[in-house]
Chain A
């Protein structure tokens, strides 16, 4: 469905050219939940933004259902770590606006749809609140609701729960999995939290840094990770830890 082929991307840093992504390829299937996992600065956000059409790669291509992605595509939504809500709009207005811009439905249906997804996110009592009145978790639920209201085929999420406390994060992970199961969409989820990646993803793409490449891809058997304290969950964690250790060893060798 989404096909990333031989992507290279670099930025100017203090006059020098810094390669952030190097010859990276990846495929995301329909209705698949893929987590991009890696240490800070390894290029996860850069990769996600290129996939979403927000940025362009220097070399390589991204195709969405055989269309070349050069700009944001229809049926795609993006959830940002810092929410990127419109603070001058109420919760309901935020949820309605995207559908309005995309010319979806008529006015009453838009409001109905928005209400439906706000309810799914347990926000039905906060429709008329402004963003500054909401907690971080409620803000991110609003952002997710407004994205879902667009009924996207792909949902890009860049460390969406990174700024939240543990309790809120776990609650939102549950909500997200629930929605993922009920709706027919793919999710590309960026995180630097190992257990979050295992808990949410069908596949975990482990990235290493400088330059960002894919170290390995781990298939997760969902049946085994429903319980975060289970033996199997820890086995997955161990395997990812080992992957990162390998990355570190390589770096050390490189420096010597």
Chain B
């Protein structure tokens, strides 16, 4: 047990406590203290219950504590940074608490845009990639076009999409769709073209119908590459979602950041940025779980 005890995060925790107790704000605002204590308890619990994860938990916590400490020292204790541009950690947590309903509602509208566009991208890019990759002639015809189209950074479509479509929602769905579509399509296409020919032969010996060949043999076999494309597509989707919202939305997480930067309310801007980071991390964690399940047949995802 002793060997699993991480010195650095615990030492930083003590230092942080000392700094906070010495400052005035701690009495008015216990939020930061609460967050730090929660993190420390979590770190200690992981170290005690999951010894093999102890080192990583300790290191991550140490980095987090270190960042908070530097931030706290620069904004509160030494006050070297402009308070207008760099709000204190306590202030940020306060805004987060007070604005949570607004932010959460914004998240709702953002996720609706993202899921409809991303769902559309999945539903079109995968079947098209399979079919075109499988039909050599269409592939040869389509490849140059898709190379050029996929090379265009989708952000440049945003103003045009807003101009040609009646609502902002439709415009952002279109742009997010385009951003997510290409990585998924291209990875599906390339993997289909390069598929192991014996696998196809072994299916052909069964006199399999083309539809079943595509969806029951080729698709599962190229699933690793398809999922890599899907994860890139999802990240692109987030980037385009935020960009579109910053340009034309009246709600949503990207809008929140843009709106308050225009007012110079940088506390809210930081809250918005941190929140987006948390949301993307959470969504990617769900994605990784789904990926692990779909690829459970691969040695590296085997669950035991």
- Residues of A at the B interface (CB closer than 8 Å) are 49, 52, 54, 71-74, 76-78, 80, 82, 84-90, 97-98, 101-102, 130-133, 150
Bound: A52/B205 CA distance, A: 8
Bound: A144/B250 CA distance, A: 63
Q: Are B201 and A88 in contact (CB under 8 A)?
A: no
Stretch with Cβ within 8 A of A (4 or more), from B117-125, B206-214, B272-280: B206-214
- Residue among A76, A84, A102 making CB contact with B198, cutoff 8 Å: A84
A247 to chain B, nearest CB (A): 29
Size bracket of the B interface: 20 to 34
- Residue among B196, B207, B297 making CB contact with A131, cutoff 8 Å: B297
Supply 6 further A-B pairs (C-beta < 8 A) apart from A80-B202, A88-B223, A132-B297: A71-B207, A76-B205, A78-B205, A80-B201, A89-B297, A150-B206
Bound: A72/B212 CA distance, A: 16
Q: Scoring B residues 265 to 304 as 1 if CB is less than 8 Å from chain A, else 0, what string do you get?
A: 0000000000000000000000000000000111100100
Residue on A nearest B213 in the bound complex, by CB: A101
Bound: A149/B205 CA distance, A: 14
Q: Are B205 and A77 in contact (CB under 8 A)?
A: yes
CB neighbours of B302 from chain A (8 A): 130, 132-133
Residue on A nearest B295 in the bound complex, by CB: A88
Bound: A72/B121 CA distance, A: 36
Q: Are B297 and A80 in contact (CB under 8 A)?
A: no
Bound: A76/B205 CA distance, A: 7
Residue on B nearest A102 in the bound complex, by CB: B206
B221 within 8 A of A: yes
- Residue among B203, B204, B221 making CB contact with A88, cutoff 8 Å: B221
Residue on B nearest A93 in the bound complex, by CB: B297
CB neighbours of A73 from chain B (8 A): 207
- Residue among A78, A97, A132 making CB contact with B201, cutoff 8 Å: A78
Bound: A71/B216 CA distance, A: 20
A153 to chain B, nearest CB (A): 13
Bound: A49/B204 CA distance, A: 12
B206 to chain A, nearest CB (A): 4
Bound: A76/B206 CA distance, A: 8
Q: Are A88 and B198 in contact (CB under 8 A)?
A: no
7 contacts between A and B (CB under 8 A): A54-B201, A86-B220, A88-B220, A88-B297, A97-B206, A97-B216, A101-B207
A95 to chain B, nearest CB (A): 13
Bound: A72/B202 CA distance, A: 10
B203 to chain A, nearest CB (A): 8
B232 within 8 A of A: no
Residue on A nearest B296 in the bound complex, by CB: A130
Q: Are B207 and A72 in contact (CB under 8 A)?
A: yes
- Residues of B at the A interface (CB closer than 8 Å) are 196, 198-199, 201-208, 212, 216-217, 220-221, 223, 296-299, 302
CB neighbours of A84 from chain B (8 A): 196, 198-199, 201-202
Bound: A201/B174 CA distance, A: 64
The CB with the most chain B CB atoms within 10 A, among A84, A86, A88, A98, is that of A88
CB neighbours of A77 from chain B (8 A): 205
CB neighbours of A132 from chain B (8 A): 297-299, 302
CB neighbours of B212 from chain A (8 A): 101
Residue on A nearest B200 in the bound complex, by CB: A84
Bound: A213/B297 CA distance, A: 43
B250 to chain A, nearest CB (A): 45
Bound: A102/B198 CA distance, A: 19
Bound: A133/B298 CA distance, A: 9
B224 to chain A, nearest CB (A): 10
B197 to chain A, nearest CB (A): 9
The CB with the most chain B CB atoms within 10 A, among A52, A86, A133, is that of A86
Bound: A130/B300 CA distance, A: 12
Bound: A52/B212 CA distance, A: 21
A157 to chain B, nearest CB (A): 12
Bound: A102/B205 CA distance, A: 10
B222 to chain A, nearest CB (A): 10
Bound: A76/B207 CA distance, A: 10
The CB with the most chain A CB atoms within 10 A, among B202, B212, B217, is that of B202
Q: Are B205 and A54 in contact (CB under 8 A)?
A: yes
Bound: A72/B217 CA distance, A: 17
User: Would A86 and B204 be within 8 Å (CB), given that A130-B302, A132-B298 are in contact?
Assistant: no
CB neighbours of B220 from chain A (8 A): 86, 88-89
CB neighbours of B201 from chain A (8 A): 49, 54, 78, 80, 84
A101 to chain B, nearest CB (A): 4
User: Would A86 and B199 be within 8 Å (CB), given that A101-B212, A130-B302, A132-B298 are in contact?
Assistant: yes
B29 to chain A, nearest CB (A): 53
Q: Are A78 and B223 in contact (CB under 8 A)?
A: no
Bound: A14/B205 CA distance, A: 30
Residue on B nearest A77 in the bound complex, by CB: B205
Bound: A49/B203 CA distance, A: 14
